Structures are given as structure tokens and as C-alpha cells.
Amino acid sequence: MRPVPTRRDLERLSEGQTLYPVDLTTAEAAALNTSQLVKAIPDELGWRITAEYWVGAVARGDLVVRVAPKIGAVQVLRLLAMADGAMDLAVDDERVEVADDADLSGVLARLFVLEAEHALAAGPLRGYRTEDQTLPVLRGRLRLRDQYLRRFGQLNPLEVTVDEWTLDTAENRLIRSAALVLLALPGLTPEVETHLRRLDRMLVEAERLVPGAALPAWQPTRLNARLHALLGLAELTLRHISVESTAGETVVHGFRVNMAHLFERIVARLLADVDPAWSAQVTLPLDQLETLVIRPDLVRDDGTGWSCVADTKYKVLDDAGKVSNADIYQLVTYCARLGLRAGHLIYADGGTAPPPYEVTGTDAAIAVHRIDLTATPDDLRAEVSALAATLTPRAEGKALRMAESA
């Protein structure tokens, strides 16, 4: 007889796992559903908790839920860096010194601390910030138009523009804000928490960013070169950490990643790096009245029209190496709408792909490709680069002719 799951078991979930029955309040279950990390469905004996495509951790009061990724927390952070274009950020297993099953938010916080110690060893970077001020004495540059329109010719106070030499720069705002949201995550080690608080005190002059607001732009220069990797990590942190208010006064904190979206973003970015003709998530009308639409994950337009279509699937093929009927139906529809004779399914598991599916009654042949998400960044780039070569119209036509002659 299986033991009944407890609330503490929610801290040790793995991707794709289900726990039942779990004792939760209705408010707690609603908060977990809002977080999207897991699904909480009421059943006869309690709540059925299912972890699907999201990984990470969320906390509501004393309830903590963690979902460990199948490919390991360090690898997920590598993929996030690739998808977000943080090319200066290298995630090294030996440097982070964590196990593959380590908590994703804990790995992120430790990596941030290590990068901050290196980048800010010589102290925080100051910079000039230009701002408009109203002052009793002349400082900076007088704004004559504003002086006339606002003060009607009076000489006091003065409308001026000042270049401040300050810690309150876009770079330091990003770093401090990332440190503060990391501090709100559950399960931080005392060492990591101490370093994050020290970082907050060091940059206390930098204004904290408003949650949900657009991140400030910064320009990579020679002066801030030592901060590039840390800034990439700070932006990654702020994009994926959420602080959400629920219906009650308790706040939900969490760092979570949708692995299906992450896989799609990685393939889209790496394909576009090789061939800029690729675009992601293009919405097109399906019927004449435009009441139905399609939204392929990836389409290629070389300037003469649509030349290729592909969809990413964050799932493995079945034991026989076959794809689901629904995936084939989807690509056949895309091919019919775009006037293409071939469509492509890209799965997030390594191995040998099955031969193309030639759909009876149509001109469409659906090819299957497999990308190994456990590969190193260099190997992953090489895989997608090789895939891009097979998806060009010339290679596609050759594959179809070979399939027809077989």
C-alpha cells in the first residue's frame, strides 16, 4: 500500500509527476493554479496535484511547491541564458557546485551570488545619469524654454538639466532588483541569503524596479564589461521570477519556467541565428472569413513567400518512435494553409527520427526531427545548425524526391 502524500512531498516533485491525495485548503489550491507551476484538481479524497511542463518553485505562506526539471537545474539555466540571448553568461557545473537534482531557484540564487562576487570585486560601477531638476541656484544646463513657460521669466527657481555621478544607474537598478527578488524565494541557504543582503546594502542608492515594469535598457561598453554576465543573469532573474498577490493578503513568490515555451524559444533563436528568414509565432487566418486562425511555432519566409513550416513539441516520442495523430493533423493543416508540400515536427528528445509521414489524400509529407536538450550549448547550436540546413527548400525538395522514389 502506497503511503499517503503529505504537504512536504510537494517540495520534491519532478517534472510530469502526480501526487494524490494531498491535503490543501481551497485558497492554497487556487494560489497554486494561479502560479501555473502545478495543476490542483479536487477529487474524492483530496486534491490531485500534477506537474506538467513547468519547473521551479513557488511559495504561499508556509506552503512550498518545487518541481525539478528532468534535465537538471543547471542545464535549464544554460538553456534560459541561450534563449534570452545572454551570451556572456556561462553556467559551469563545477563553479556552481550543485547536484543535478538541486532546486532550480537555489541554483539560480547561488549562481547570481558567485557572479556578483566576481563582477563587483572592485566595487560597484558608478555612472552619469541625466535628469531634469528644479533648483534655487544654477547647476548644469538651464532649460530656457521650460524656464519661460513654467516660471514666466522669473529667475528663481531655475529649470535645469543635470548630469549626476551616481550609483543609481540602469545597471545597478537591475542588479539590486534581482538580488531583492531572489531574497524572497524559499529555501535559500544562509550563506546565499547573507551575500544577497550584502549586495542590497552595497547598491542601496540604486532605485528598486517596479515589479512587472519594463526592464531599463543598458548599453554594453568597455566601462561596464565586467558586469555583462551579471547583468544577463539579473535580466534572466527578473523575467522569470514572479511575485503575485492572491485574493487574500498572502503573497505568492516563485521562480518558474515553462519548459515547452523554453524549448520553442531556443529552437527559434538558434534557427534565426543561422537563417534570419525564420520567424516565430506568426498568426495567420485559416478560413476565408478569417474567423479561424493558425499560429505555427516557426515559419520561414525568404522574401518570395512561405517556404517552410515547423512546430516544436516538448515531449518524447512513444516507445515505437511514433508521433501522435494530433501532431500530424496540426502540421497537415499548416501545410495546406501555406501551400507547402512538407512540414516539420521538432521533438525535445535525442535519438533517431522516424521516416517522414506521407499523408494519404494530400501532398503533405511530415518530417520528424529530434533535438537533445541535455547537450552542451555548443552541441545544441551544432544540432540546430544542422537542422536548419535540412529545412531549406533545396534540402526539403531533395528529401521529398527521395521519399517519392523509394
DSSP letter (8 states) at residue 353: P
d(CA 237, CA 218): 16
d(CA 139, CA 117): 37
pLDDT band of 244, cuts 50, 70, 90: low
d(CA 374, CA 48): 30
At residue 127, φ and ψ (nearest 5 deg) are: -160, 170
d(CA 234, CA 84): 11
Mean local confidence (pLDDT), 343-360: 89
d(CA 256, CA 105): 8
Output the pLDDT for position 403.
44
| Mean pLDDT for the chain overall | 85
Burial of 187 (0-12, 13-18, 19+ CB in 10 A): middle
Portion of the chain with pLDDT greater than 70, in percent: 87
At residue 279, φ and ψ (nearest 5 deg) are: -130, 155
- How do residues 56-101 score in pLDDT, each as one tens digit? 888 888 888 989 888 888 888 888 888 876 655 666 655 555 554 5
Q: Grid coordinates standing for 199?
A: 549586495
User: Residue 82: beta bridge partners?
Assistant: none
Question: What pTM, to 2 d.p., does this model score?
Answer: 0.77
CB-CB contact of 238 with 209 (8 Å): yes
Residue in 113, 110, 118 with CA at minimum distance from that of residue 73: 110
- How do residues 360-401 score in pLDDT, each as one tens digit? 988 899 999 999 999 988 899 999 999 999 887 654 444 444
Output the pLDDT for position 120.
94
Q: Grid coordinates standing for 213?
A: 515594469
Output the pLDDT for position 313.
93
| Helix-strand-coil split of the chain, %, nearest 5 | 40, 25, 40
- Of the listed ranges 15-29, 148-162, 267-281, the least confidently predicted one is 148-162
Per-residue pLDDT for 350 more than 90? no
- Domains of the chain (ranges plus CATH)? 1-121+171-257 (no CATH), 127-166 (no CATH), 275-405 (3.40.1350)
- Of the listed ranges 136-140, 190-194, 240-244, the least confidently predicted one is 240-244
d(CA 352, CA 350): 7
Of 349 and 244, more confident = 349
- How do residues 299-309 score in pLDDT, each as one tens digit? 999 888 899 99
Output the pLDDT for position 212.
77
Of 162 and 356, more confident = 356
From first CA to last CA, the distance across the chain in angstroms is 54
Give CA separation, 32 vs 113, 132, 136, 225, in Å.
Answer: 28, 45, 54, 40
pLDDT band of 110, cuts 50, 70, 90: confident
* Amino acid type, 376: T
Q: Grid coordinates standing for 223?
A: 566601462
